[in-house]
């Protein structure tokens, strides 16, 4: 069906307000109301809070290789070590202290800061496996030895 009015009205004409340059400059220089509140809602920049990069962030350390070999073959986080050696090195460093290792693994799995992308599924699976190993070891140490 054809539109009966091929040239419809564009509506009301635009109105403009007369202003001088000084007033326009003030409007640009002064932040609009609510801008500071919006800044507070924005995600924090974690880069300033991170430790400086170190050469060992991109290479597996010898103690990390030893730690990987101590784990059962099906529990070794090989993809994590290949993809993110910094985290593998940190895990190997904390592993002898179960509480420190468990806290670190928990921090890897739980986003307490908000906005993290998370690990790829195959790496997350390895981190969850380490979490389960730590949990099992801590539970077995907490139980009193059974009597024969």
Q: How many domains does the chain have?
A: 1
pLDDT computed for residue 79 by the predictor: 96
- Please indicate, yes or no, if residue 26 is contained in any of the structural domains: no
pTM of the model: 0.62
- Please indicate, yes or no, if residue 93 is contained in any of the structural domains: yes
- Please indicate, yes or no, if residue 71 is contained in any of the structural domains: yes
- Please indicate, yes or no, if residue 48 is contained in any of the structural domains: no
Domain range spanning residue 122?
55-142
Q: What is the mean pLDDT of residues 86-94?
A: 95
- Please indicate, yes or no, if residue 14 is contained in any of the structural domains: no
DSSP H helices in 5-120? 21-29, 35-41, 62-70, 78-83, 85-94, 98-109
Helices 98-109 and 121-142: crossing angle in degrees, nearest 10, is 150
Q: pLDDT tens, 116-144? A: 788 999 999 999 999 999 999 877 776 66
pLDDT value at 7 more than 80: no
pLDDT computed for residue 43 by the predictor: 64
Q: pLDDT tens, 30-77? A: 777 777 777 667 666 666 667 788 877 889 999 999 999 999 999 999
Q: Which residue has the higher pLDDT, 80 or 5?
A: 80
The CB density around residue 61, as the number of other CB atoms within 10 Å, is 14
- Please indicate, yes or no, if residue 47 is contained in any of the structural domains: no
- Please indicate, yes or no, if residue 38 is contained in any of the structural domains: no
Question: Using 50, 70 and 90 to split pLDDT, how confident is the model at 6?
Answer: low
pLDDT value at 88 more than 90: yes
- Please indicate, yes or no, if residue 4 is contained in any of the structural domains: no
Question: Using 50, 70 and 90 to split pLDDT, how confident is the model at 29?
Answer: confident
């Amino acid at each position: 069906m054809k539109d009966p009015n091929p040239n419809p009205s564009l509506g009301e004409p635009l109105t403009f307000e007369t202003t001088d340059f000084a007033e326009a400059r003030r409007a640009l220089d002064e932040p609009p109301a609510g801008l500071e509140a919006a800044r507070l809602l924005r995600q924090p920049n974690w880069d300033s809070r991170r430790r400086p990069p170190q050469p060992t962030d991109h290479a597996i350390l010898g103690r990390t290789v030893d730690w990987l070999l101590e784990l059962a073959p099906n529990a070794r986080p090989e993809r994590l070590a290949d993809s993110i050696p910094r985290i593998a090195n940190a895990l190997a460093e904390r592993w002898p202290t179960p509480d420190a290792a468990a806290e670190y693994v928990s921090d890897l799995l739980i986003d307490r800061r908000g906005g993290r992308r998370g690990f790829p599924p195959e790496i997350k699976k390895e981190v969850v496996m380490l979490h389960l190993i730590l949990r099992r070891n801590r539970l077995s140490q907490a139980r009193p030895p059974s009597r024969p």
